[in-house]
Amino acid sequence: MSADNQQERLNCNWVVGFVDGEGCFHVAINKLPKMTLGWQVLPEFRIVQHQRDEILLHQIKSFFKFGEVRKNHDDRKEFRVRGLKNLNSIIKFFKKYPLKTSKRKNFEVFSEIITLMNNGQHLTNSGLKKIANLASKMNRKVKRNLESSETIRRNFKNRSKI
């Protein structure tokens, strides 16, 4: 069943409320030798749900008009947005319709990182460090850094289960 066939379109405020609860702004910094500096900065926005709500994830995809619905793990599915163009659209949306939980702070740092990437800063040593610092400044639970780890996963979701 395609979400496009569903008559009802999601309401912007509902989307914000749902993302305040279930959304996740995430940046991975992965060691990748083929990249200019040997590191790949991989930002993404995602919403993970039990597979019973997969249709809703498709509705969210239809709402934004981009992103993909895919398997997360086990019985979980996710709506995932990657790529600067689409992430810039996500940022534009949440600037117009602000998040209300403390997740908003994560979003703001995420937004700052995307701005740096828009300017190609992730391709410079200083920019890469700035991005890593932004992430660590925001999420103190993550102690690893570029020097000590193969993969830095900066999870911007302020939830203890992460």
145, 152 contact by CB (below 8 A): yes
Report CA torsion sign: 15, 21, 23, 26: positive
Rounded to a whole number of angstroms, the minimum distance from the CB of residue 135 to a second copy is: 18
Rounded to a whole number of angstroms, the minimum distance from the CB of residue 160 to a second copy is: 7
Task: Please say which residue, 34 or 52, places its beta carbon nearer to a second copy.
Answer: 52
User: Residue 161 carries which side chain, given as an amino acid letter?
Assistant: K
131, 137 contact by CB (below 8 A): no
Task: Please say which residue, 14 or 115, places its beta carbon nearer to a second copy.
Answer: 14
Other CB atoms within 10 A of residue 71 CB:
11
Task: Please say which residue, 46 or 122, places its beta carbon nearer to a second copy.
Answer: 46
Which residues here bind a second copy, judged by CB under 8 A?
10-22, 49-50, 52-53, 56, 59, 75, 100-102, 158-161
